[in-house]
Amino acid sequence: AAAEASLRVLSEEDARDLRDVLLGQRAAPGFDISDAPPSALYEIEPRDLVLAGAFQNRSLYMVAAVLGLMQGPDTVRFLRQASGPATSVARDLGIGFMILAGLALLLIGWVVAIIGTVTKYHGFHLERHDKGLKVGYGLLTQVEHVIPLRRAQFLRVIQPVLYRLLNLCEMDVATAGSFREKEGSGAGNTKLSPVTRLENAGRLASHVFPSLHLEGVAWNPVSRLTIRRAFLAEMWVNAAVTGLIVWRFGPLGAFALLPFTGLAWLYARKRFEALAYSLDGGFL
């Protein structure tokens, strides 16, 4: 589940020599071979990285953190006792100032999210490698690793809500027995692409599984028993919450179970509509 050893301080030359030995490109240190020129398969366009940073909602984390900090009693006391032209204007503006401050925080967080994404995944590219696919990216911290295709188990295509509006997606590959530290959405997952146009997903998938075709998948619905299972699972939680409300506010709090029940049924129904599967050419 984790690396057995980690070498954190190493010269770049020694690191590359060690990598070549471990990957079998070199029989022993000092054995010189002629490296074939890399075959570039895919590169991310800078505009797509900007879009990825702009629509991943990371700016909302900054706004929530600042608003949470402002709820602290010490912060509130400081703001009330503060003096000076700026605080006087803030008091005069009242709720308008808070709205403007929130918008400013959102804008700052938005810009920071864009810069962070572009910096992290700058120059993202895929190349062919004897052992699979070689991934490289990074402006300040450069990262390189190889996806061993013989151990590739599944491919994940992710489309957040805002990505769907722009016809974008991100793609991960999970490999069996990986000792990579946790990255992305699970241990052993490697970014095949942090962002790409949806029309490129099929081409990228074919580099991992050549016989897999993402276009024109015939989706089958799951069993309708899924609705009952999801509904009952949610109702256990709703019943516990309702019990706390009754204990705190009295018997009338039992009416809170009615809206909870409606929301649980709506969730179960929408979950059933979203789930589907397909069996095609040995792939699930």
pLDDT higher than 70, residue 65: no
Task: For the chain, give the secondary structure using H, E and C.
Answer: CCCCCCCCCCCHHHHHHHHHHHCCCCCCCCCCCCCCCCCEEEECCHHHHHHHHHCCCHHHHHHHHHHHHHCCHHHHHHHHHCCCHHHHHHHHHCHHHHHHHHHHHHHHHHHHHHHHHHHHCCCCEEEEECCEEEEEECCCCCEEEEEEHHHEEEEEEECCHHHHHCCEEEEEEEECCCCCCCECCECCEEEEEEEEEHHHHHHHHHHHCCCCCCCCCCCEECCCHHHHHHHHHHHHHHHHHHHHHHHHHCHHHHHHHHHHHHHHHHHHHHHHHHCEECCECCEC
Amino acid 182: pLDDT? 45
pTM: 0.64
Amino acid 224: pLDDT? 93
Give the Cα separation of 188 and 156 in Å (integer): 12
Give the Cα separation of 41 and 36 in Å (integer): 15
pLDDT tens-digit readout, 177-226: 654 444 444 445 788 999 999 888 998 998 999 888 888 788 999 999 99
Give the Cα separation of 279 and 218 in Å (integer): 9
**pLDDT confidence bin for 267, thresholds 50/70/90:** very high
Amino acid at residue number 45: E
Amino acid 34: pLDDT? 44
Nearest of 231, 233, 260 to residue 246 by alpha carbon: 260
Amino acid 234: pLDDT? 86
Q: Phi first, then psi: what are they for 57, rounded to 5°?
A: 65, 20
pLDDT tens-digit readout, 110-168: 888 889 889 999 999 998 888 888 899 999 988 888 888 888 888 999 988 888 888 89
pLDDT higher than 80, residue 54: yes
pLDDT tens-digit readout, 221-258: 999 999 999 999 888 888 888 888 888 777 877 777 78
pLDDT higher than 90, residue 105: no
